[in-house]
Amino acid sequence: MIGYVTMGTNDLPRAVAFYDALFGAMGGKRFMEHEGVFVAWVTDPKGAGLSVTKPFDGQPATVGNGVMVALDAPNPAEVDRLHALALSLGGTDEGAPGPRGDSFYCAYFRDLDGNKLNFFCFTGG
């Protein structure tokens, strides 16, 4: 259903370094960029993407309250690994890895600009 998600940043080089490392660990790579304006990544050329950009209107980027981007992981171990990587890259913890309900496993974090994301997987149950 989701084609792509775009999040604002006030420091594009810093955001790009964060997501290059994080998405590289997921097998992702850049698929589109306009130097100094935005960069977008995918893990599957036919799947959804995520991009960061300086706001088009020239105003400072702000975090959307209640907005979150969920990133699919294949299993709980990968959720744990990627969450730890996000924190080691300077992200902040918003919810430790663990089960939420009977069949959902996830971990929440904020990126360097304060955008909220999570890694998740379904575990059956």
Each residue's pLDDT tens digit, 72-120: 999 999 999 999 999 999 999 999 999 998 999 999 999 999 999 999 9
pTM of the model as a whole? 0.91
pLDDT single digits (tens) 20-78: 999 999 999 999 999 889 999 999 989 999 999 999 999 999 988 889 999 999 999 99
Domains defined along the chain, listed by start:
4-54+63-122 (3.10.180.10)
**Please, are residues 11 and 52 in contact by the beta-carbon 8 Å criterion?**
no
